Amino acid sequence: MLLVWFFWQCNVRFAERDERSRDLNVVETDDLTAPEVSDDPYRYFGRLREKDPVHWNPLAEAWILTAHGDVVRLTRSRELFSSAVAVNDARDTYPPIDEGDRHLNDSFRDWLGDLLTEQDRPAHLEMRQAVHRWFTPRAIENWRAEVRAAVRDLLEEMRPRGRMEVKAELAAPLPLMFICRMLGVPESDAPGLRDLADKVASGRTSASDRMGGAVVALRQLQDYFSPLVKERSEKPQGDLVSMLADGERRGVYSRRQVLANVVLLMNAGHNTTLNLICNGVLAFIRAPDQWDLLRGDPDGLCASAVEECLRYEPPVTSLWRISTQDLELGGKLIRAGDRVLWVIASANRDPAAFADPDAFDVTRSPNPHVALGGGIHHCLGAALARLEGQEVFKALAETFPRLHLEGDAVEYLPSAHVRSLSALPVCWN
């Protein structure tokens, strides 16, 4: 009898697999490390959205969700999905990593497991509340004058040269400068920190050897911040590290979590806005009519222009989650424990939510993009990213009648999770 039950179970499983594998026909590949995914995620995931918006990808062992309506609803439904992916997902990491790097991957997952972004309620609420008020729109607005002055200084310095590499000379140093000020880190340390943060960020690319550099840099960053955390927990100042240290004093964070999240804040405050600026500048270079519009009214249009940059080329293109209960969606059954990928890049180009979705339109309104996520994990630094983006695009529009790409092509880091240019050389003469 037991044997019959066993074979019946096997049959059910195989039938399910057959059902899922039929979905393969709708895309050229399920390999999310393929160049076509990094080069044009809008085309790749857009095709999925049209043909199979709840797609089972057997290589990633994950459901790929691409419709705007689904992504919006599910980001807000905290009971349906766990964000504690590193802790709750026993499957192999995808994209695959080198067999010899398993121990490094385990260290990386240990770090991920301590992050605010990987917590569920109830722990998440108190952890977020400990830093939330630093990042409210009103609190961040107080930084505007300082950001504006810093952008002006950077541009004034570069203007006579006639060219800049946007990523290295503007998009990276500016957000890093401000997250360093907020954390209470000396700005002279910023270049070294940037190098390490870039290496940690490489943990989000598709390269199978990505863990080596990422984990070494992670340890170096934690070693760097460790004395600062100790100092601030003994003698609090009005900075972000002191806020986290206060969370530790109240039992909301462990010391290990404080350290992990200081590194998270530094990385998130740096890499995402960096990509917003680079991707936005490139979008404007390719749409001179939109640049002219912005130049005509930089004060009036910089806010909606940033929203459109976020929609059109989102810095974070997808997020992993783990389903916590069986869920029927689009005629498919997502089972509790299944791995799910929410594709922001596709949701933001869904014609069901946006008219003419592949057009870059800085006057678009309303603009219900999901570039900053939604629900309890809505980007903590959203107001800061917006403010920095607004000040950068406003200042660029006021300074340069036209920006041109130097060279014929741009290259994106190989990743299905971030939209990140390797470099962006531009000129204005």
Stretch that binds another protein, among 23-31, 36-44, 132-140, 251-259 (CB under 8 A): 132-140
| 138 binds another protein per the rule CB under 8 A | yes
Candidates 166, 305, 319, 382; binder of another protein (CB under 8 A) is: 382
Candidates 289, 378, 406, 411; binder of another protein (CB under 8 A) is: 378
Nearest to 320 by CA among 123, 124, 118, 120: 118
| 125 binds another protein per the rule CB under 8 A | yes
Local structure of residue 408 (DSSP, 8 states): S
Q: What's the order of all strands across the beta sheet hosting 425-427?
A: 163-165, 425-427, 404-405
Residue 127, phi-psi category: left (phi > 0), alpha (psi -120 to 50), beta (remainder): alpha
CB of 130 to another protein, least distance (A): 12
| 383 binds another protein per the rule CB under 8 A | yes
CB of 365 to another protein, least distance (A): 10
Q: Which is nearer to another protein, 160 or 366 (CB)?
A: 366
Using CA atoms of 379, 381, 383, 386 in order, give the dihedral in degrees to the nearest 10.
Answer: -90
Q: Which is nearer to another protein, 386 or 394 (CB)?
A: 386
Tokens of 181: 């000020």
| 380 binds another protein per the rule CB under 8 A | yes
Tokens of 159: 């203007």
| 136 binds another protein per the rule CB under 8 A | yes
Nearest to 230 by CA among 220, 240, 241, 221: 241
Q: CA 421 to CA 410: how far, in whole Å?
A: 7
**List of E strands, 107-216:** 163-165
Nearest to 93 by CA among 112, 80, 75: 112
3-class DSSP state of 328: strand
Q: Give the amino acid at 74.
A: L
| 137 binds another protein per the rule CB under 8 A | yes
Q: CA 63 to CA 393: how far, in whole Å?
A: 36
| 135 binds another protein per the rule CB under 8 A | yes
Q: At what angle do helices 255-286 and 123-132 cross, to 10 degrees?
A: 70
Q: Which is nearer to another protein, 128 or 295 (CB)?
A: 128
| 76 binds another protein per the rule CB under 8 A | yes
Site for another protein in 154-213 (CB under 8 A): none
Site for another protein in 358-377 (CB under 8 A): 366, 368, 372-376
| 128 binds another protein per the rule CB under 8 A | yes
CB of 55 to another protein, least distance (A): 24
| 73 binds another protein per the rule CB under 8 A | yes
Candidates 51, 91, 103, 133; binder of another protein (CB under 8 A) is: 133
The footprint of another protein (CB under 8 A) covers 73, 75-78, 125, 128-129, 132-133, 135-138, 366, 368, 372-376, 378-380, 382-383
